[in-house]
Amino acid sequence: MTGATESTPGRVVAVVPVVNAANALTALRLVLVPVFAASVIMSGMTHAGWRMAACLIFAVASATDLVDGWIARRFGLVTSVGKVADPIADKALTGAALVLLSWYDQLPWWVTALILVRELGITGLRFWVIRHGVIAASRGGKVKTALQILAIAWYLWPMPAALATVGPWIMAAAVLVTVATGFDYIAQALRL
């Protein structure tokens, strides 16, 4: 022994570039929000062609949420920017859709208010407890998101009268799951 101490090599942390495929999809979703809103406004919720365009833009923007998360996790492209921008893009898209649907009397304002208060409250709660740990999206949260997307798309698409009556039932399920998962996230935050 020479008296020298062995040092264990430190953990190598890969630097993930901010400009990557996952963040590009999140940015695309943010860019699509005003395009989507303009399409709804152009439709006045009466012009079938513009309603279909708005629905398709909403569907594409919603799909980017699924794909960007998968890409980020699969290829190790998770960034601090993405962690902040992704929920902002989600809330901007959903919020714009709900407010516009209520504005055009397609959806009661109390539904929009309830969902937006829950969404913004839970997002704020997640950021508030992040120093103690991450509140990961639960299976219920994913069901909530899917139901909200389906309900909004159902309202946007110019459905025949018989099928249009299904929309409020889908939205009711979305509201129930939204509220239930909100309480679940609050419980998780308290445990952290």
What is the per-residue pLDDT across 23-42, written as a single tens digit (0 to 9) for each?
Answer: 999 999 999 999 999 999 99
Q: Closest Cα to residue 155, out of 116, 97, 96?
A: 97
Determine, yes or no, domain membership for 4: no
Determine, yes or no, domain membership for 83: yes
- Structural domain including 155 reads 21-190
Determine, yes or no, domain membership for 121: yes
- Torsion sign over Cα 105, 111, 117, 122: negative
**How many whole angstroms separate alpha carbon 125 and alpha carbon 162?**
40
Determine, yes or no, domain membership for 48: yes
> Mind listing the pLDDT tens digit for each residue in 82-118?
888 888 899 999 999 999 999 999 999 999 999 999 9
Tell me the residue type at 163. Answer: L
Determine, yes or no, domain membership for 94: yes
Determine, yes or no, domain membership for 10: no
Q: To the nearest whole number, what is the mean pLDDT of the chain? A: 88
Report in angstroms the alpha-carbon separations of 11 from 8, 14, 112. Answer: 9, 10, 46
pLDDT of residue 79 exceeding 90: no
CATH of residue 77 = 1.20.120.1760
Total domains present in the chain: 1
Q: What is the pLDDT of residue 1?
A: 46
Determine, yes or no, domain membership for 8: no
**How many whole angstroms separate alpha carbon 84 and alpha carbon 124?**
11
> What's the pTM value of the predicted model, to 2 decimals?
0.86
Determine, yes or no, domain membership for 11: no
**How many whole angstroms separate alpha carbon 115 and alpha carbon 124?**
14
